[in-house]
Amino acid sequence: MVFASRVIIPDQSIRGDIARIAKYMNLTYGVTYSKRQLVLFEKWEKRDPVSEEELQLINRIQRVQKTGVFDVWIK
C-alpha cells in the first residue's frame, strides 16, 4: 500500500475487494460516494474480479447469517 500525501493507493490485488466493500457499505448502511469514486470502484472491480477464495468466504458468511445481501452484485 502506498501513501501519497492524503491519498492511499491500495495494492492492485485488493482493489476489487475494496470496491465490493464500498458497494456493501452503500447498500447496507447508506454510505454515499462521489461520482468519481464510483467510477474508480467500477474500474477496480473489473480489473480484480471476485476470487474463488472470496466466494467461499461469502458462502460461509451467508450460511451463518442466513442472508443473501451479497447476491446483488456477486453472482
What is the pLDDT at residue 44? 96
pLDDT digits 0-9 by tens, 20-73: 999 889 988 999 999 999 999 999 999 999 889 888 888 888 888 877 666 655
SS (H, E, C) the chain: CEEECCEEECCHHHHHHHHHHHHHHHHHHCCCCCHHHHHHHHHHHHHCCCCHHHHHHHHHHHHHHCCCCCHHHHC
pTM of the model: 0.74
- Domain range for residue 10? 2-74
The three grid cell numbers given for residue 72, joined into one nine-digit string: 446483488
Q: Check the CA dihedral 61-64-69-74 and report its sign.
A: positive
Domain count, the chain: 1
pLDDT digits 0-9 by tens, 1-14: 666 577 788 999 99
